[in-house]
Structure 1
Amino acid sequence: MKHQHPYTKTIIIVLSFLFMITSCAKKESNHFVGMTKVVLREAGNQLLLRNLDSTSLILPVKEIEPYFYSISFEKPLRFEPSNIVTVIDSSLNLASLSKNYRVEVLQCADREVAYSYEMNVEEERTIIPCAGRFLPEACYTINIQFLDIVVPSGFRKKHVPYVLVFGVLVYVFFLYIRKSKSQPISEEKSTLSYSIIGSFQFYPEQSKLVKSATEISLSKKECELLEIFVAHPNQIIKRDDLTKKIWEDNGVFVGRSLDTYISKLRKILKDDDSIRITNAHGIGYKLEMD
Structure 2
Amino acid sequence: MNNYIKYSFRFLVIFGLFSCMISCSKESNEDASGMVKVALRNVGHQLLLINQDSISVVKPIMKIENLQYQLSFEEQLEINPDSLIAFLKNSFQKANLPQHYLVEVLQCKDNEVAYSFQMKQNIENGIIPCRGRQLKKDCYLIHVRFTKRIETNCSYSYIWLVSIFLFGIFGIITFFYFKRKTKVSSEENSESFTFIGTYKFYPEQNKLIKEAVEISLSKKECELLTIFIAQPNQIIKREELTKKVWEDNGVFVGRSLDTYISKLRIKLKADESVKLINIHGVGYKLEIDSSFCIRKLKSTFRNFLIKRFFSIMIGNIL
TM-score, with normalisation over the residues of structure 1? 0.48
More helix per residue: 1 or 2? 2
